[in-house]
Structures are given as structure tokens and as C-alpha cells.
Amino acid sequence: MAFKEPDFWDRLDISSVSAEETERSYSEVLSKAKKLEASYELRKLRAGRRRSALRVIAGIAAVVALIIVPAVSVMYVRRSLDRPVQPVTAEFREFIARKGEIRELVLPDQSRVTLNAGSTLFYPETFSDVRYVYLSGEAVFDVTASGEHPFIVKTSDVSVRVHGTRFNVSAYPDEDNVNVALCRGAVSVSPNKGDAVPVELKPDQSYRYSRIDGSSTVTSVNSSEYTGWESGNLSFHSQDIHSVARTIGRRFNVNIYVTTGKYDKAVITAKFIHGETFEEQMNAICRLVPGMKYSVSGENVYLR
């Protein structure tokens, strides 16, 4: 599906924009994305006050994906105020994995991407010197090596720079953390704001960036557990009930709600690697959290 910004995308002169200009312009796009996120959080807070008994933890639209478009579009707007630009079409495509599905994609450079449920990827029809893609959600990347053409994954909070490798990026807009897990090769990860030195990962290491306080940590992990969702597996490592429910909700295309705050401090570690059904997973989670039960009404699930 072709993605076109209706106001100016058809006349975008992408070939004349340098990497440095792209980075500056991307910061402007990111600023707008942050304002949108802040507005969204405020609306969610107000809605939460009206529904104090109900905490929505799944089924949230990936609004950031709609704003994270190639930064050169901002560059065109700025340049168009100064001088005319030759009309050139730059085609970008939008690839979506909706809730309840996992999809695979081969990019123009033959790199492969597996997109997890509730995720969106923007990518160009033809790559330039730097291979930029933009992700909201979660994906496994198997990147074709090219020393002259770096591959960069942009999310709303961090950027991942690679040459040829396999890694997982999880950057759902409704989660508190962004995670990057390296399977093979090498990547460097850096926050989009500030002047932090990029962190280089080794295989079986994970980088976690906190959207709450801007901190980051690197830990040793079993990277296969971070990519197991490609085969339908789910792994939870000391995660709170809200994050677990969001993940299960995306996987099975249901809306999960927590109707009480008494499980907020519950920490869950679990693996589902045998094709467990929704009911089997929910029953297991309820056994791990004493006293918790769930009920189903159509596509809505209520934890109490």
C-alpha cells in the first residue's frame, strides 16, 4: 500500500537531501510526535478519571506510526518557503500487521522483516545511500549486509544502526520501554534526543530504553526468546500484568481490561511455547496471580 502525505508528498525532492539534513528534519517530526503522544496521554488520563473502575491496557491504536514519516517531508516544507523545488515523486510504502496477525516482508535491498501484531513499518520503494525504515510496534529484522549503505531503524525514541545482522526491536507506543535484542552481527543503539554515546550491542545482549525517565540499560539475554513470537511463542520476563495483558491482547486480537488495581505490583515470568490457546494462556496467568480471574464478553476480556 503506497503511503503519500497529501499536502506535499508528491513533490518531494528526496535526492537532494543530505543525511545531516534528514537527521535535523527527523528531530522536527519527532517533536510533533511527542506532542501528539502527550496529548494522547492527557486524553487517556481524563478518560480514566471518568472510568475510574476500568483500566484499559490493550487495543490502543498505534498513533505514533501515523506521524513518524520520513523526515525529508519536513525538509521539503522548509525549502519550499525559500525556493521552488522540481516536482519529483518519492514513493513510500506502509506495511501493517494488525492485531491477531504476524506478517513478513522483503525490503527493496532483500532485507527481511517479520512484523508482530499491532505494528506498522514505513519503508521506501528504493533505498538511498542510507537505508532508513520507520517502525511503530515490534519487528525482527534480518538485514542484508552493505558496508557502504548503513541500515537504520527509527522509532519514536531510539535509532538502531546496523550493516548486516539479525535483531528484534520492540517499540509499541503504549509500552513504557523500548527494547532491542541482538541475535547476530552488531548494532549500535542511541536515544533520539540528547547527546548520549551510541551503545554497541553484542549477540545475546538486550538494550532497554525507559520512556519514563530516559534511562537505558544493557543486559545479557537469550535472544531467541525475544524472537520466538515469529513462531507463535510468547515469553514474559518479570513483566507487570498490564504489559502481559497488552501483549496477549495484540496476539489474539482482543481488548483486555483490568478492573482493579490490586494486581498492579504483580510480576509475571512465563513462557508459552507449545501453541497454547488464548484460554490456556489466560488460565495460566490467573494461576500465577493468586485470586485473579477473568471473564469474556465478545471481544472484550475483563480481569478482576
245 pLDDT more than 50: yes
64 pLDDT more than 50: no
Do 91 and 125 form a contact (C-beta atoms < 8 A)?
A: yes
* The pLDDT of residue 33: 47
Least confident window among 44-48, 49-53, 79-83, 184-188: 79-83
Residue 195: pLDDT band with limits 50, 70, 90: confident
* The pLDDT of residue 147: 83
pLDDT (mean) for 218-222: 96
Residue 224 CB neighbour total at 10 angstroms: 14
Residue 96: pLDDT band with limits 50, 70, 90: very high
CA–CA distance, 176 with 30 (Å, rounded to integer): 17
* The pLDDT of residue 128: 87
**For the chain, what is the mean pLDDT?**
79
267 pLDDT more than 80: yes
Residue 270: pLDDT band with limits 50, 70, 90: very high
* The pLDDT of residue 49: 40
Q: C-alpha dihedral over 93, 32, 49, 283, to 10 degrees?
A: 40
* The pLDDT of residue 59: 35
234 pLDDT more than 90: yes
pTM of the entire predicted model: 0.72
* The pLDDT of residue 20: 52
* The pLDDT of residue 166: 97
8 pLDDT more than 90: no
Residue 137: pLDDT band with limits 50, 70, 90: very high
CA–CA distance, 181 with 219 (Å, rounded to integer): 9
193 pLDDT more than 50: yes
CA–CA distance, 148 with 163 (Å, rounded to integer): 8
188 pLDDT more than 50: yes
Report the alpha-carbon angle 92-116-96, nearest 5.
30
* The pLDDT of residue 31: 55
* The pLDDT of residue 60: 32
pLDDT (mean) for 27-55: 47
More confident residue, 57 or 141: 141
* The pLDDT of residue 57: 33
More confident residue, 136 or 2: 136
Residue 194: pLDDT band with limits 50, 70, 90: confident
User: In the chain, count of helices (H) and strands (E)?
Assistant: 5, 20
